[in-house]
Chain A
Amino acid sequence: MKFGRFLIPPALLSLYAWKKYGCRISPRSEIEWSSKLTIGRGVNIASFCKLKSSAGPLSIGAGTQIAPFCFITSHAGGLEIGKDCMIGPSATIAANGYRYDDLDVPIRLQEQTSAGIRIGDNVWIASGCVVLDGAEIGSGTIVTPNTVVSGRVPENSVVQGNPAKVIFTRR
């Protein structure tokens, strides 16, 4: 399902997404319906989530569930979330950063960077996690609460901490 920018009330978009694609998107979530946003069938986005997709491609695979208060933002490097993922409450997934190599210029005015984020299928990102730009999370992985992921996580891992470390491998 791809969207263009519409000046349509969120409730109508939610109804349309539900009727046509089986997506349950709360009208109380805040989603940038840009042409760079792709949402699969049966995606569930709860209330008070904020999704930004105007600066880069953002795709969410079929069956993925996003709990309340999540903040998800894509940038030039793109942000891919696979199928059947679960993203717990208050998780942050931000696919951009800032250069900070010029001491004379405020960081906010320096160039933005974006390597992109790739999240595989069937990944469970628990509540309060932060996934930073450049992260790659393999399919079947469990990211335990409040973990910060900035690098590569192998498939079927259970990771914890800041920075995320593999504490177990599912089998």
Chain B
Amino acid sequence: MASETAVQDISSAVIEIAASVFEVAVNELCMEASPETLDTWDSLNHLRLITAIETSFDVRLPMKTVLAIDTIEALVEAVENCRGK
């Protein structure tokens, strides 16, 4: 139960940060949001998002993971994995 709450916290925090980076409203973003569904998710904003997430959660994602992330869900997973280590 506690871990589910933690995951929800991470998800909502990631969505908030992503909304700020992509300059969209929080309610426009869902876990399935991706570069295909979001006009402002380009290669540079992708890097900005990763940097913002890393700063916010005090983690450092491996480069392969950074390049593999293609949805908000994948980003949340990557943050969870990184924090779990």
Chain A residues with CB below 8 A from B60, complex form: 171
Chain B residues contacting A171 (CB-CB under 8 Å) are 60, 62-63
Query: Is B63 touching A170 in the complex (CB atoms < 8 A)?
Result: yes
**Chain A residues whose C-beta falls within 8 Å of the C-beta of B47 in the assembled complex:** 158, 167-168
Q: How far is the CA of A167 from the CA of B50 in the complex (A)?
A: 9
How many A residues touch B, CB cutoff 8 Å? 8
Q: Please classify the interface of chain B as helix (H, G, I), strand (E, B), loop, or mixed, using the class held by over half of its residues.
A: helix
Q: Mark A153-171, 1 if CB is under 8 A from B, else 0.
A: 0000010100000011111
Q: Chain B nearest CB: distance from A167 CB in Å? A: 5
Q: Does chain B have a CB within 8 A of A110? A: no
B50: which A residues are within 8 A, CB to CB?
A: 168
Q: CB-CB < 8 A to A170: which residues of B?
A: 63
Q: Are A160 and B44 in contact, CB atoms less than 8 angstroms apart?
A: yes
Closest residue to A165 on the B side, CB-wise? B48
Q: With the chains together, A168 CA to B55 CA distance in Å?
A: 11
- What number of A-B contacts does a CB cutoff of 8 Å give? 17
How many Å from the CB of A154 to the closest CB on chain B?
Answer: 13
Nearest A-chain residue to B48, judged by Cβ: A167
B12 at the interface (CB under 8 A from A): no
Interface size on B, residues (CB 8 A): 8
Does any Cβ of A come within 8 Å of B51's Cβ? yes
Are A144 and B44 neighbours in the complex by a CB distance under 8 Å? yes
Tell me the bound Cα distance from A160 to B42 in angstroms. 14
Chain B window 13-57, contacts with chain A (Cβ cutoff 8 Å), 1 for yes, 0 for no: 000000000000000000000000000000010011011000000
Most buried by A among B48, B60, B62: B48
Distance in angstroms from B33 CB to nearest chain A CB is: 20
Measured CB to CB, the closest approach of chain A to B55, in angstroms, equals 11
A84 CB to closest chain B CB (Å) equals: 19
Given contacts A144-B44, A160-B44, contact A168 B63 (CB under 8 A): no
Q: Which residue of B lies closest to A171 (CB)?
A: B63
Known contacts A158-B47, A168-B50, A170-B63, then 12 further A-B pairs from the complex at CB < 8 Å, ordered by chain A residue: A144-B44, A158-B44, A167-B47, A167-B48, A167-B51, A168-B47, A168-B48, A168-B51, A169-B51, A171-B60, A171-B62, A171-B63
Partner-B contacts on A (CB < 8 A):
144, 158, 160, 167-171
Which 7 A-B pairs give the minimum distances between C-beta atoms? A168-B47, A167-B48, A171-B63, A168-B51, A167-B47, A158-B47, A160-B44
